[in-house]
Amino acid sequence: MTDPVNHTILLLDIEQFGRRDDVEQAFMRRMLYSVLHETLRSAGVEPAEQRLEDRGDSVMALISPTVPKPRLLHALITETPTLLHANNRLAAAGARVRLRIVLASGEVAVQELGGALGGAVGWDLNQAFRLLDSAALRDALRHRDGPCVLGVSEAVYQGVVRHGHGGLRPESFHRVTVQGKEGDFPAWLHGEPAPASRAPQSAPARTAAAEFTAAPPPQAAPATFQFLGGSPSFGGNLIGGDQHTVSGGEVHGDVNTGNTVGGER
């Protein structure tokens, strides 16, 4: 096994690959490699600066650290969706390709085994595959209208994206937490968050005045009394004073229920 060497790690995985039949899968794999090669070419990556490993429904590219990461990110953000859209227009509905994409960096050791493909190992590589297979990246693609979603590692975000190198826009990325077998770790996704990831909007807080201000009591309708003779009383109190009747039986004059109340009634 060789000593670990710093690489840029690029991973691409086809969404819902296992649901397709053999003919569709073969077509989709050809499209995957076509899009990958064109993306790397547009980023200026020479064949000698890349090492590819096939993973069936995905592909891993180990890229020389001498290739500027801002160029790779620009190609993944702009060229890759355009290439996918152009190829999908000519494909049957069951063979259209949507991709989860990860760009990371770290130390990778390569052990070539006779008669076998692959052999790349490393902690950073493992974490990149955890991000590729994460619920956060899958949910993001599920809620996108576009043909791909891009996630980058914390190292790529902090070292490249956060500083806006090459005209990158840090505000177009949002942070997610990936649940890995060795523990949770942060990563960054390009584009708007999936709906389930957005913070719920709380209802506006009620003020103290709104909590404790009572509604004003209803206005009582003016009372009209009608007597048919005798001495009227209320609650055992005899009404004193003059009572005069007019047509309709309304009370005029002073009405006293123990305390004399002036004014007209």
Domain locations in the chain? 5-195, 224-265
Q: What is the pLDDT of residue 203?
A: 42
Position 252 pLDDT exceeds 70: no
Higher pLDDT: 12 or 248? It is 12
Q: What is the pLDDT of residue 217?
A: 55
Domain spanning 5-195, CATH architecture: 2-Layer Sandwich (3.30)
Task: For residue range 168-211, list pLDDT tens digits in order.
Answer: 999 999 999 998 888 999 999 999 887 755 544 444 444 444 44
**Angle, CA of 251, 255 and 257, to the nearest 5°:** 130
Query: Can you tell me the distance from the alpha carbon of 133 to that of 196, in angstroms, rounded to the nearest whole number?
Result: 18
Higher pLDDT: 224 or 51? It is 51
What are the percentages of helix, strand and coil residues in the chain, rounded to 5?
A: 35, 25, 40
Cβ-contact 141, 121 below 8 angstroms = no
Q: What is the pTM of this model?
A: 0.73
Task: For residue range 150-166, list pLDDT tens digits in order.
Answer: 999 999 999 999 999 99
Position 121 pLDDT exceeds 80: yes
Name the average pLDDT for the chain: 82
Mean pLDDT of 74-103: 97
- Packing angle of the helix pair 22-42, 80-89 (nearest 10 deg): 140
CA 262 vs CA 103, 142, 234, 246: distances in Å:
91, 80, 18, 19
Cβ-contact 207, 112 below 8 angstroms = no
Query: What residues form DSSP beta bridges with 252?
Result: 244
Q: How confident is residue 253, by pLDDT bands cut at 50, 70 and 90?
A: low
Q: What is the pLDDT of residue 220?
A: 53
